[in-house]
Amino acid sequence: MHKVLSMAVITAALFNSSLAFASSETDDIQQQLEAIKKEYGQAIKALEDRLLKAEKGTQLANDKTQKLAVQLEQSNSARTPSSAKNSFNPAISLVLDGRFASFDNDPEDYELPGFSLGNEAGLREKGLSIGHSELTMSANIDDKFFGKMTLAFDEHDGETETELEEAFIQTLGLGNGFTLKAGRFFSEIGYLNQQHGHAWDFADAPLIYRGLFGDQLVDDGVQMTWLAPTDTFLQLGAELLGGSRFPAGGTTSGVGAWTAFADIGGDIGIEHSWQLGLSHWRSDNIKDRKSGGHSHGGGQAETPSFSGDSKISALDLVYKWAPNGNPNHRNFKFQFEYFDRQEDGSVAMLNSGPPLEMTSYDGDQKGWYAQATYKFKPQWQMGFRYDWLDSNNRGSDTDVLAEAGLDNEGLNPQRYSATLEWLPSEFSRLRLQYNRDESYEETDHQLLLQYTMSLGSHGAHQF
Amino acid sequence: MFHQWKNTYRLAALLLTLCANTAYAQLNIFACEPEWAALTRTLAGDAANVYSATTAQQDPHHIQARPSLIAKVRRADLLVCTGAELEVGWLPLLLRKSGNAKIQAGQAGYFMATDHVSLLEKPAVLDRSLGDIHAAGNPHIHLDPYRVQQVAEALAITLTTIDPANQKNYRENLQNFNLEWRNAISQWQKQSDKLRGKRIVVSHNNWVYLEHWLGLERLAVLEPRPGIPPNSKYLAKVLAQLEQNPADMILHASYQNDRPALWLSQKTGLPVVGLDFSPSNKNSLIQWFDGVLNQLLRAES
């Protein structure tokens, strides 16, 4: 720049002087000027070349630094083995549950006409109580097996009872879609039965579950499932069960019950998904299945005992919707299950007589429930449920049937329920539930306030 | 009797051929998130049939183990997921129900992207009162192109391991990807110079790798704790904080509830940038990154 400027000054000066001197030396001066012009032109050209070269150099250098930066960034974020994975310790999770219950009727008077209540069936205590607390441990045992155990703690008549609710092992990828499970587990009959109580959408079991299973069917045995290699979910399975627990009951040795089930399911677009299931449970030669019966107060309770064959067939349907397939903010779920139980044998009233009161028994019990839940805000969910039961049991001695609670007293037990839930996070839930319970003649209004909290590792929940 | 047996035999043979046919076709790859589906498609090309379990509209933390997903995992030869507990609420159940040996944890067909990079924000204390935190660190690594490149290298090796016949194909695809990706990175670096030092408010703390890469400064998160939606009291606190120390923009992911962000935008006049957290079905990773940067640059100017 300086050079260009100085050249301009010199040129101007020369011009001025040449004007002053005029004519004679003009040619000379003109020649000199040409020479100077040429000289400076070359100098400028050289300078420009050098500038271009320098620019190219910086470009190259920049590229090199860029590449180095990429490498540096990569080495900075290089893999460091994560030590946080506690994969050798079992995942432990604890579910704490507590409730306040208010009933219009005395919960001790509860009955379900046409159904002999067994297991834990019935209403829980009035007032404040802790519910069903669970401690679960699970882990992959090695590359072939997964194991899980759940201990349940319950309060019954002032005593804390500990129950081994689940203890099973399961194969991991046996191949070709097969999975084998062994131990104590929730049977795959129905839909709700495989889920833990804390994952249910209501504080209590549907009436048909209460009537047939005493809330839930758990047994010891083996289960085999096969998943078809199709885009539509199709699963077939069977269970061989010990059959020593309600509603198989009795002390049969070997295989006392079996189930077979089929599930089919899929998506409709991104927002809708569904699953349809058929299942069948059967136990032949049940011996002495005790249940609660229909107490009339005073004296030693007479306990109904069933012996004979029993079979249950079930149909379940689940449909879920979530906007954009993202259930976190809003979602809807509809669920329907139908059960039918046919029994053939005899019922005896233990502690009666002598002679022992007995009747032949031809049981025909069925029922269904339908429920819908709607999560309308990220932390709020509401739900409605309707239960309906029917029975038509026959026997040689209708008095004994009535005493065993197997006479339907000419009515269909039914119940209406509604809930409102507040879910502060995915680990905690507060639930308010109202039931209009028409299980027996006197309608009961029930109000439940329940908390369910889960501590520890996330358990993945089933569909 | 004999005819019956013959029919059964024929049926069985037919079923077997059908199964065999599906087995000899392309690799079936199950990607948990669309970003890994896009990367896998680039690296595997025609050699694989890639399925993405989620879309950009779905929160990958909260997916249900739907029957359709179980059916897909049943047939998968390879699983490509984020890992670091992002899918802990649904993937373990899919694996257990699938009855598929190839993709179980520890097998060659089980690929977790976060196993191949270092993670930021590994918590020193694990306590749920701090919200839904991930013990291994922040898993949303796909927002850092350098880490994506590392994942690509590792994924190409995995593809070669489970499908050695197509080794050449995978190597070439990786080389092409690396070339394009490096060029793209230097271009993004130039484009995003003006974003450096910009101060942002985010809906959920899932932008940390993007912040790290682009040099954005996070002033506030619109969740009191990870995974806990804000109440009005908390939002008022954030608002007061921003009046003292103003930000440049509010970021939120497409799958998140945008109400808190819109409320804050109304109060402060800050632009809200709703970014696609993952590529859409058809987009490549480069197209998606381009889109994200363009959206940020538009909000900035």
All structural domains of chain B: 2-188 (3.40.50.1980), 194-300 (3.40.50.1980)
Residue A341: pLDDT over 70? yes
Q: Domain range for residue A114?
A: 93-456
Residues A53 and A189 in one domain: no
CA dihedral A52, A58, A63, A65 (to 10 degrees): 180
Same domain, A163 and A196: yes
- Residue A445 has what pLDDT? 97
CA distances from residue A192 to A31, A116, A205, A274, A462 in whole angstroms, order as listed: 108, 21, 9, 15, 10
- Contact flag A178-B99 (C-beta cutoff 8 Å): yes
Q: Is A210 among the domain residues?
A: yes
Give CA–CA dist B63/B44, Å, rounded: 26
Compute the residue count for chain A.
Answer: 463
Mean pLDDT of A27-53: 80
Please state the three-class secondary structure of A388-454 as a single string.
EEEECCEECCHHHHHHCCCCCCCCCCEEEEEEEEEEEECCEEEEEEEEEEECCCCCEEEEEEEEEEE
Shared domain check, A170 and A61: no
CA distance B67 to A423: 25
With contacts defined as CB-CB under 8 Å, which chain B residues touch A458?
85, 88-89
Residues of A in contact with B131 (CB under 8 A): 425
- Residue B228 is classified by DSSP as B
Q: Which of A70, A105, A130 is the last residue of a domain?
A: A70
Q: Does residue A452 register a pLDDT over 80?
A: yes
State pLDDT tens for residues A101-114.
999 999 988 999 99
CB count within 10 Å of CB B62 equals: 18
Tens digit of pLDDT for each residue in A122-133?
Answer: 888 889 988 889
Q: Which of B91, B122, B185 sits opposite A70 (nearest CB)?
A: B185
| Mean pLDDT, residues B121-128 taken together | 79
Q: Are B92 and A460 inside 8 Å of each other by CB?
A: yes
Between CA A191 and CA A414 the distance in angstroms is 20
pLDDT value, residue A90: 86
Q: Do B19 and A229 touch (CB under 8 A)?
A: yes
CB within 8 Å: B102 and A173: yes
| Residue B263 pLDDT exceeds 90 | yes
Residue B55 amino acid letter = T
- The interface predicted TM-score of the complex, written ipTM, equals 0.86
Looking at the fold, whether A45 and A108 belong to one and the same domain comes out as no
Within-domain flag for A75 = no
Cβ distance B186 to A66 less than 8 Å, yes or no, reads yes
Instruction: Classify residue A252: in a domain, yes or no.
Output: yes
CATH code, A229: 2.40.160.10
A59 and A113 within one domain: no
The span from the first CA to the last CA of chain A, in angstroms, equals 78
- Indicate whether A369 and A437 sit together in one domain: yes
| Predicted confidence (pLDDT) at residue A378 exceeds the cutoff of 90 | no
Residue A76 within any structural domain of the chain: no
Query: Exposed e or buried b for every residue in A269-295, given b needs 16+ CB within 10 A?
Result: eebebbbbbebbbbbbebbebebbbbe
Say which range, A154-158, A393-397, B94-98, has the weakest mean pLDDT. A154-158
Distances in Å between the Cα of B64 and the Cα atoms of A20, B94, B100, B140 are 99, 10, 19, 20
For residue A427, list chain B residues with Cβ-Cβ distance below 8 A: 128
Nearest by CB to A77, from B22, B101, B147: name it.
B147
Residue A197 included in any domain: yes
Q: If you measure CA to CA, which chain B residue comes closest to A230?
A: B71
pLDDT on residue A457 = 80
Q: Using alpha carbons only, give the angle B18, A272, B292 rounded to the nearest 5 degrees.
A: 95
pLDDT at B25 over 60: no
Are A62 and A117 in the same domain? Answer: no
Distance from CA of A74 to the nearest CA of B (A): 6
The pLDDT of residue A358 is: 93
The partner residue sitting opposite B99, judged by closest CB among A173, A425, A427, is A173
The answer to whether residue A352 is domain-embedded is: yes
Measured CA distances, A213 to A4, A157, A189 (Å)? 103, 21, 11
More reliable by pLDDT, A20 or A308 = A308
**3-state SS of A25-88?**
HHHHHHHHHHHHHHHHHHHHHHHHHHHHHHHHHHHHHHHHHHHHHHHHHHHHCCCCCCCCCCCC
Taking only the tens place, the pLDDT of each residue in B75-114 is: 999 999 999 989 999 999 999 999 999 999 989 999 999 9
Q: Which of B62, B94, B192 to mutate to test the interface with A (most CBs of A within 10 A)?
A: B62
A232 plus A146 within the same structural domain: yes
CA distance A199 to A207: 17
Mean pLDDT over each residue of chain B, to the nearest integer: 89
Q: Above pLDDT 90, what percent of chain A?
A: 59
A45 shares a domain with A124? no
Contact yes or no for B131 and A425 at CB 8 A:
yes
**Whether A276 and A350 share a structural domain:** yes
* pLDDT value, residue A37: 79
Measured between beta carbons, the chain A residues lying within 8 angstroms of B107 are 143, 173
Q: Provide the domain count of chain A.
A: 2
Higher pLDDT, A66 or B155: B155
Tokens of A414: 């039914």
Residue B3, pLDDT score? 59
List of chain B residues whose C-beta atoms are within 8 Å of the C-beta of residue A86:
135
Q: How far is A137 from chain B (nearest CA, A)?
A: 15
Asked if B96's CB is within 8 angstroms of A146's CB, the reply is yes
Which residues make Cβ contacts (< 8 Å) with residue A120, sequence separation at least 6? A154, A214, A215
A321 torsion bin: left (phi>0), alpha (psi -120 to 50), beta (else): beta
**What is the Cα–Cα distance from A90 to A196, expressed in whole angstroms?**
19
- Give which of A145, A194, A233, A318 to mutate to test B binding, by max B Cβ within 10 Å: A233
Tell me the two tokens of residue A441: 């003649």
Contact B117 A79 (CB under 8 A): yes
Q: pLDDT of A1-21, one tens digit each?
A: 455 555 555 544 444 444 444
Strand order in the sheet with B217-221: B217-221, B199-202, B249-253, B272-275
